[in-house]
Amino acid sequence: MSQNISANAGTAAKVTMSGNGGSNEGDMESKRSLGEVMGSILKTLSLLHQLHLTVSPYNISSQLTLLQRLNTIVLELDNMKRLADDCNIQVPIEVVYLIDDGKNPDEFTKDVLNLCIARNQMTKGKTDAFKSLQKHLLEELEQTFPDEIESYRDVRALSAAGMLCLVLMITNCMFHKTIRHESSMWQKVLHPKSGSYRRLA
């Protein structure tokens, strides 16, 4: 049982991790802190198992051992709290609920993925429905107002072609302007005396 709990705790801790400023050093520090917390959790589970073995056949002679193990657990819990303060992770509350219910926290990832797939299908269905509606409306309008629809399609075609030409012209002008600027500003020749490079005036 303790192995199952430790596996769930380890998986939950790995669900979401945020680095410190996105730096590699911050990520390594966060991972190291997470590893220390997980190690403390496993040690606490082992101590709880030992405590259970001590309490089950409890008698007066095992009182000292019981007190020692209780003190050890308290110290380890305090150590766990101290390590957790340096561990910058975020665990969704749904994962905690799953663990409390005795379920595998990996189900949270599976549920989120399935939800994203379902919403993607819904969005795709709506997009296809709007495209179908547009096509149907154009067909109906073309039967009633053929000249207007023909003009509409011509305007759409000219607008798309004009926008494409405008983008190509702007891109071409910027490209040639950049080439001329770079050629005039950064062209260098070898100085005959010093052997150094200088910019052309």
pTM: 0.41
pLDDT digit string, tens, across residues 51-75: 888 888 878 888 888 889 999 999 9
DSSP assignments along 149-161, one per residue = HHHHHHHHHHHHH
Cα separation, 104 vs 9, whole angstroms: 10
Give the per-residue pLDDT at 114. Answer: 93
DSSP assignments along 105-150, one per residue = THHHHHHHHHHHHHHHHHHHHHHHHHHHHHHHHHHHHHHH-HHHHH
DSSP assignments along 64-82, one per residue = HHHHHHHHHHHHHHHHHHH
**Domain segments of the chain: what residues?**
2-105, 150-187
The secondary structure of the chain in percent helix, strand, coil, rounded to multiples of 5, reads 80, 5, 15
Residue in this structure with the two tokens 């997470």, named with its chain if needed: 34
Give the per-residue pLDDT at 1. Answer: 45
Give the per-residue pLDDT at 194. Answer: 47
Give the per-residue pLDDT at 65. Answer: 87
Cα separation, 47 vs 29, whole angstroms: 27
Residue 84 CB partners (closer than 8 Å, separation 6+): 37
Give the per-residue pLDDT at 181. Answer: 60
Give the per-residue pLDDT at 42. Answer: 93
Give the per-residue pLDDT at 200. Answer: 44
Give the per-residue pLDDT at 12. Answer: 45
Give the per-residue pLDDT at 72. Answer: 93
Cα separation, 98 vs 89, whole angstroms: 18
Residue spans of the chain under pLDDT 50 = 1-22, 188-201
